[in-house]
Amino acid sequence: MRKLPLLLTAACLLASCKTVGPNFATPAAPPPQAGYASDGQGRAALGEGPGAEWWKSFGSPELNAAVEKALAANHSLAASIATLERAKAHIDAVVGRSKPQINANGRAEYQQINLNAFGFSPDAFGVGGGAGNFTISNPHFQLYTLGAGVSYDLDLFGKHRREREQALAEAEAQQRQTEAAHLLIAGRVTQQVIAIAALSDRIRTERALLAEDDRNVELTQARQRGGIGTMVEVLSAQGQQASDRANLPVLEQQLADGRAQLAVLEGISPAELGPTDFSLDRMTLPAQVPVALPSALVHKRPDIQEAEARLHAATAAVGVATANLYPDISIGASISQAADKPWNVFNGNTTSYDIFGGIMAPIFHGGTLKAEKRGAQAGLRASAEQYQQVVLEAFGQVSGLLSALSTDRDALAAQTTSSQIAERSLYLSRRSFQVGNSGILQVLDASRAYQRAQLSLLEARSRQFYNVARLQSATAGGWIGDPKAVAANTPAP
């Protein structure tokens, strides 16, 4: 027992040894304006970026309801959250392995000992027969044992500490992945609602254009009945009417496909999806689109944070592989009670104990441990390159969307002017046709130009909504939903 304090003192000194392997360092932030192009119009405001619930900036209750349903019921999102819970449980398991391990045991056995196997002579037991003719009775007995033991790995070179660090980093990566899944679902729902709204508006526009075709047919038929028009003019007008009417079934099928995709995002079947009477006219573009600066973006975008966490985990993995090359020291103690009768197990005379310290040092493993360290180092280099790639792709995406924001605004202004001119031209062409100053071909040409202008205007509006949604989704970050969920899903330090 006098040696126990010395053993514990040595254990404390060994446990304070330095952790081997590289320490993780957060990658340097990018230059202040790297990778961004200004839109030159003041629409985008560089700063901290949009809020977590960025889709509410469109001012559409229908859109807000659709996103909330998807965040509450999407199955892929639920799977990601469950995976995060598994990662958190893995942290607890890793931490548990670094603590003292205590086990209890009990055993009941019936034995027969082979005394001949131990070389006992018959004289030792006072039994035997004639010369060369003797037998030794092998005794039978019962044995009951109760015991407990404790062992502790001193983690001399920090293997368990690196494993804990790796588990924490992997859990953080999963949390960031879950945050990205929230943003992805919100972004996809928003874009899908915009797509449905654009299709619904186009169908309404097509039907309004069909009404214009009907007017053209009526004009040609009236001229024919008045004796100043021809059947050729009537057929030309009817041909355009039939051609435009053929567009409706295609658009209605696209609308049905869009509704089905929205239902999947909301975690329900298409038959369960309610009315989707969306319209771009009931949405508003935000006055300004807040966009995160590059230095803020690396701390907001969950995909960048996930890549950083995976880089951290890869760094810790090198430490684990390095520690495997060094000796491992453990200490422990055990106590047991053994007796031939169950009621004698707790008798003080049946107690035995031991206190031990052990060391295990790798000598030859066929190169496995060194190969594992080289593999971990290669994984670290791969994670570093992947981090840089994710950052570059994020900056490139935001830069492209900022440029698109300016282009979309210019395109919308040009299409608005074109639509107004085409509408005026169609009006004058009809008046000229009615008084006999022009032919039906001029009216049909003006009508086609007006239709193209109207559809192009609608496309420009929907593209602007779509790109604003993409830009906000690309620069948003944080956990979407109840703030309490952040604490519930954040890995413990």
pLDDT in tens, 101-153: 999 999 999 887 777 777 765 555 555 544 455 455 777 888 899 999 999 99
Q: What percent of the chain has pLDDT over 70?
A: 85
Angstrom distance (rounded) from CA 493 to CA 485: 17
Contact 479, 226 (CB under 8 A): no
Sign, Cα dihedral of 408, 410, 416, 420: negative
**pLDDT above 50 for 37:** no
Q: What is the pLDDT of residue 426?
A: 86
Among the listed ranges 116-125, 217-226, 355-364, which one has the minimum average pLDDT value?
A: 116-125
- Tell me the pLDDT band of 452, cut-offs 50, 70 and 90: confident
Q: What is the pLDDT of residue 479?
A: 62
Among the listed ranges 214-223, 278-287, 334-343, 405-414, which one has the minimum average pLDDT value?
A: 214-223
Average pLDDT, whole number, for the chain? 83
Angstrom distance (rounded) from CA 273 to CA 264: 9
**pLDDT above 50 for 42:** no
Contact 480, 417 (CB under 8 A): no
Q: SS3 letters for the chain?
A: CCHHHHHHHHHHHHHCCCCCCCCCCCCCCCCCCCCCCCCCCCCEEEECCCCCCHHHHHCCHHHHHHHHHHHHHCHHHHHHHHHHHHHHHHHHHHHHHCCCEEEEEEEEEEEECCHHHHCCCHHHHCCCCCCCCCCCCCCEEEEEEEEEEEEEECCCCCHHHHHHHHHHHHHHHHHHHHHHHHHHHHHHHHHHHHHHHHHHHHHHHHHHHHHHHHHHHHHHHHHHHCCCCCHHHHHHHHHHHHHHHCHHHHHHHHHHHHHHHHHHHCCCCHHHCCCCCCCHHHCCCCCCEEEECHHHHCCCCHHHHHHHHHHHHHHHHHHHHHHCCCCEEEEEEEEEEEECCHHHCCCHHHEEEEEEEEEECCCCCCCHHHHHHHHHHHHHHHHHHHHHHHHHHHHHHHHHHHHHHHHHHHHHHHHHHHHHHHHHHHHHHHHHHHCCCCCHHHHHHHHHHHHHHHHHHHHHHHHHHHHHHHHHHHHCCCCCCCHHHHHHHCCCC
Q: Round the CA-based radius of gyration of the chain to a whole number and report it.
A: 39
- β-strands 101-112, 289-292: how paired? unpaired
**pLDDT above 70 for 391:** yes
- Tell me the pLDDT band of 486, cut-offs 50, 70 and 90: very low
**pLDDT above 50 for 38:** no
Nearest to 148 by CA among 109, 118, 114, 107: 107
**pLDDT above 50 for 11:** no
**pLDDT above 60 for 425:** yes
**pLDDT above 90 for 320:** yes
- Tell me the pLDDT band of 51, cut-offs 50, 70 and 90: confident
Q: What is the pLDDT of residue 49?
A: 67
Q: What is the pLDDT of residue 115?
A: 72
Q: What is the pLDDT of residue 434?
A: 77
Contact 294, 35 (CB under 8 A): yes
**pLDDT above 70 for 13:** no
Inter-CA distances, 8 with 17, 58, 97, Å: 15, 66, 20
Across the range 206-223, mean pLDDT stands at 83
Total-model pTM: 0.79
For the beta carbon of residue 386, count every other beta carbon within 10 angstroms: 14
Across the range 469-481, mean pLDDT stands at 77
Across the range 309-333, mean pLDDT stands at 94
**pLDDT above 90 for 484:** no
Across the range 288-302, mean pLDDT stands at 76
**pLDDT above 80 for 73:** yes
**pLDDT above 80 for 45:** no
Angstrom distance (rounded) from CA 371 to CA 374: 5
Residue 169, judged by CB atoms within 10 A of its CB (0-12, 13-18, 19+), counts as: buried
- The pLDDT tens digits of the residues spanning 225-238 come to 887 778 887 888 88
Among the listed ranges 42-46, 68-72, 157-161, 370-374, which one has the minimum average pLDDT value?
A: 42-46
Domains and CATH numbers, the chain: 20-99+161-325+368-489 (1.20.1600.10)
Across the range 376-385, mean pLDDT stands at 96
Q: What is the pLDDT of residue 478?
A: 64
Across the range 239-267, mean pLDDT stands at 91
Q: What percent of the chain has pLDDT over 90?
A: 46
- Tell me the pLDDT band of 41, cut-offs 50, 70 and 90: very low
Q: What is the pLDDT of residue 34?
A: 47
For the beta carbon of residue 72, count every other beta carbon within 10 angstroms: 12
